[in-house]
């Protein structure tokens, strides 16, 4: 039984020969170990993952429109079939679905995702421009302060706490606003609900907060 082995990678930085403890076992190899040491295998795996990530990032925008068009066409031509399949699965997995929905409702992460998705959907139904962005991006941009009242917004409060964080549309979607970064702002849930579908934020600030409420 061998005690040392050379790494087959020309970029190995461990030096040769190396103890066999530096190699993963491989029964298909005559020596019983992989040709590359653990460090080289890890480095090459990370390089392949990074290459795939860059490849996918460059390729996805090219095929995205075609993929979405195909999905829309397929859904329109197989609407009844898809609905029947969904209904059948729901009836056969009712407990599983209910368990999943309970977890979805109590999860702050999925609640935030659901509210963002709901805003995107409302904008699309009204044929408004839509951008995809994360809530944290707006939180950092607005420096953690409510853009309506000016006070800090604490992320420790979960919805539906009046002081929990929410995204407000400066020009509401119902009044022609779009779901864009330039049209959303950080706000307390209380301030967001009080503002409602109003557009003039400065006027709303004077009207509501001048009395100290």
Angle between helices 94-106 and 79-92 (to 10 degrees): 90
Question: Which position has the higher pLDDT, 167 or 88?
Answer: 88
Per-residue pLDDT, 75: 92
**Buried/exposed code over 133-153 (b: 16+ C-beta within 10 A; e: otherwise):** eebeebbeebeebbbbbeeeb
Alpha-helix residue ranges (DSSP H) falling in the chain: 38-77, 79-92, 94-106, 108-125, 135-141, 189-195, 201-209
Question: Which residues face 179 on adjacent strands?
Answer: 130
Give domain limits for the chain: 1-53, 107-209
| pLDDT tier for residue 204 given thresholds of 50, 70 and 90 | very low
Residue 206 has pLDDT above 80, yes or no: no
Mean pLDDT of the chain: 83
As a whole number of angstroms, the distance between CA 22 and CA 8 comes to 13
Indicate the fold that domain 107-209 takes in CATH: DNA Binding (I), subunit A (1.10.30)
Which pTM does this prediction carry? 0.48
Residue 207 has pLDDT above 50, yes or no: no
70 is written with which tokens? 């195909």
Measure Cα distances from 101 to 159, 174, 187, 194 in Å. Answer: 17, 28, 27, 29
């Amino acid at each position: 039984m061998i005690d040392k082995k050379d790494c087959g990678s020309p970029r190995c930085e461990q030096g040769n020969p190396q103890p066999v403890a530096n190699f993963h076992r491989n029964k298909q190899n005559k020596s019983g170990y992989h040709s590359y040491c653990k460090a080289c295998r890890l480095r090459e795996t990370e390089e392949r993952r990074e290459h795939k990530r860059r490849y996918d990032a460059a390729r996805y925008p090219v095929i995205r429109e075609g993929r979405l068009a195909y999905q829309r066409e397929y859904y329109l031509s197989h609407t009844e079939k898809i609905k029947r399949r969904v209904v059948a699965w729901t009836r056969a997995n009712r407990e599983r679905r209910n368990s999943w929905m309970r977890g979805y409702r109590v999860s702050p992460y999925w609640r935030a995702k659901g509210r963002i998705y709901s805003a995107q959907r409302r904008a699309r139904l009204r044929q408004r421009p839509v951008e995809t962005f994360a809530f944290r991006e707006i939180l950092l941009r607005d420096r953690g302060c409510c853009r309506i009242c000016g006070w800090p917004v604490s992320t420790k409060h979960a919805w539906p706490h009046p002081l929990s964080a929410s995204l407000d549309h400066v020009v509401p979607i119902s009044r022609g606003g779009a779901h864009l970064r330039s049209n959303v702002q950080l706000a307390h849930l209380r301030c967001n609900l009080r503002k409602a579908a109003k557009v003039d934020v400065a006027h709303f600030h004077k009207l509501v907060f001048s009395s100290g409420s």
